[in-house]
């Protein structure tokens, strides 16, 4: 375990969030050195009960995946003692983050204006589904936002049903935006001495992440549809079938396509009027796909891929998650973080995916396993 002082050392976070977007954000902050106090109700974060699967210590892997490097205390906001402790922590924290339904924290005297009146330097981050104005009453669930936010309309096969992404991606994106907002506000406070209210919501985070698809919609007035694994503006940029499995080809330039044609033993494809440049390949996508799959289907993926890599053609197999982690490990990316969790006389090693941000002088560190509920109740450091 590294003992390097983290980039956010000295920053204390009172974390009232639960489930995914907020906890993901505070884990990122904790990895970078912030002191994160996870403030839970008597029942704990709901994801503690979302199992199976469970890790070696019996914890929900869902909970463990977003709650390392934090300490846990229980504050029952409906009881005077618990509410008083929660207020004390919020009033002394550098950062407060919460993702309750808009208006909930205000009922307990823990809303932004109420906390800032006592703690004017506080960076207070509110995470919501649809904002805190006209969308305040709408429930902020990732699946719902993927649906109403347009992501499902462009995900799935062209002749299939709208499909959600295989992970709560909008929650993760929103958590990342929360981190960016909090860190920007901390920098501003260093200059002005003033805190501020950081607000992020799932719908806005998704619309921002739609990038080229949203941009084309704004400029053309037409919403794109589902294309399976194909790309609306690049070809071949999709999965194509080899003899045994699919190969993902991400050919983004004419030079790469020429290299691909040469590797496949069909250099004339690069000068074919239908495929001579990207715009032509997009216009003749179906013919291109049929032509390439006829050739790729003569060999297994592992017979094609080494040559593609050697020729700088972006290509790879469609891995499962276990294979993806193994790939990152083989590339020296150190994808797994390990933290010890002590339960009586037994010590478990809890494995989670490492922080993706590399910092040369103040790297992420991993010292605290995902905490048991109330594990730090009454600790002197509080």
Predicted pLDDT of residue 162: 96
Distance of CA 104 to the CA centre of its chain: 26
Q: Which of 171, 302, 345, 376 is catalytic?
A: 171
260 domain-assigned: yes
Quick check: is 171 catalytic? yes
**SS3 for 118-166, per residue?**
HCCCCEEEEEECCCCCCCCCCCCCHHHHHHHCCCHHHCCCCCCCCCCCC
Query: For 104-114, what is the mean pLDDT?
Result: 97
Q: Which residue has the tokens 């205390």?
A: 73
Distance CA 173, CA 309 (A): 31
Q: Does residue 380 surpass a pLDDT of 90? A: no
The CATH code of the domain that includes 171 is: 3.40.50.10540
Domain containing residue 81: 12-209+334-353
38 and 154 assigned to the same domain: yes
What tokens appear for 34 in the block? 């912030």
89 and 155 assigned to the same domain: yes
258 domain-assigned: yes
What tokens appear for 55 in the block? 């890790």
366 domain-assigned: no
* 329: Cβ contacts below 8 Å, ≥ 6 apart: 335, 336
pLDDT in tens, 351-377: 999 999 999 999 999 999 999 999 899
User: Domain count of the chain?
Assistant: 2
Q: Does residue 1 surpass a pLDDT of 70? A: no
Other CB atoms within 10 Å distance of the CB of residue 321: 10
57 and 165 assigned to the same domain: yes
Q: Does residue 5 surpass a pLDDT of 90? A: no
- Cα–Cα separations (whole angstroms), residue 270 to 236, 256, 257, 275: 12, 10, 7, 6
297 and 152 assigned to the same domain: no
Distance CA 154, CA 230 (A): 11
pLDDT in tens, 40-97: 999 999 999 999 999 999 999 999 999 999 999 999 999 999 999 999 999 999 999 9
CB 32 within 8 A of CB 6: yes
Please state the pTM of the whole predicted model. Answer: 0.93
40 domain-assigned: yes
Calculate the average pLDDT of the chain. Answer: 95
The CATH code of the domain that includes 254 is: 3.30.1540.10
220 domain-assigned: no
pLDDT in tens, 126-174: 999 999 999 999 999 999 999 999 999 999 999 999 999 999 999 999 9
Q: In this structure, what are the phi and psi dihedrals at residue 278, rounded to the nearest 5 degrees?
A: -60, -45
- Cα–Cα separations (whole angstroms), residue 160 to 156, 226, 228, 351: 6, 8, 9, 37
């Amino acid at each position: 375990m590294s003992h390097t002082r983290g980039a956010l050392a000295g920053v204390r976070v009172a974390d009232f969030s639960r489930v995914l977007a907020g906890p993901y954000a505070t884990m990122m902050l904790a990895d970078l050195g912030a002191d994160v106090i996870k403030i839970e109700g008597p029942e704990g974060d709901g994801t503690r009960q979302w199992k199976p699967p469970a890790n070696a210590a019996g914890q929900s892997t869902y909970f463990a995946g977003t709650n390392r490097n934090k300490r846990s205390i229980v504050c029952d906001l409906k009881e005077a003692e618990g509410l008083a402790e929660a207020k004390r922590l919020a009033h002394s924290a550098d950062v407060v983050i919460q993702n309750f339904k808009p208006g909930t924290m205000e009922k307990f005297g823990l809303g932004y204006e109420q906390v800032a009146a006592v703690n004017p330097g506080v960076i207070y981050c509110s995470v919501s589904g649809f904002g805190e104005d006209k969308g305040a009453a709408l429930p902020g669930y990732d699946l719902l936002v993927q649906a109403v936010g347009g992501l499902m309309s462009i995900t799935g096969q062209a002749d299939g049903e709208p499909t959600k992404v295989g992970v709560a991606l909008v929650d993760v994106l929103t958590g990342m935006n929360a981190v960016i907002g909090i860190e920007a506000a901390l920098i501003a406070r260093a200059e002005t001495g003033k805190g501020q209210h950081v607000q992020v919501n799932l719908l806005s985070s998704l619309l921002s992440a739609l990038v080229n698809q949203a941009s084309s919609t704004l400029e053309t007035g037409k919403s794109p549809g589902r294309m399976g694994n194909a790309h609306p503006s690049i070809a071949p940029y999709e999965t194509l079938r080899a003899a045994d499995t699919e190969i993902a080809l991400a050919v983004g330039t004419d030079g790469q396509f020429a290299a691909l044609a040469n590797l496949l033993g069909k250099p004339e494809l690069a000068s074919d009027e239908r495929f001579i440049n990207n715009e032509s390949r997009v216009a003749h996508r179906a013919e291109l796909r049929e032509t390439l799959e006829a050739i790729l289907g003569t060999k297994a993926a592992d017979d094609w891929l080494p040559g593609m890599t050697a020729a700088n053609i972006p290509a790879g197999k469609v891995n499962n998650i276990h294979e993806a982690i193994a790939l990152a490990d083989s590339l020296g990316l150190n994808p797994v973080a390990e933290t010890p969790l002590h339960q009586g006389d037994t010590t478990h090693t809890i494995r989670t995916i490492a922080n993706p941000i590399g910092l040369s002088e103040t790297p992420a560190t991993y010292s605290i396993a995902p905490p048991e509920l109330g594990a730090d109740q009454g600790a002197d450091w509080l």
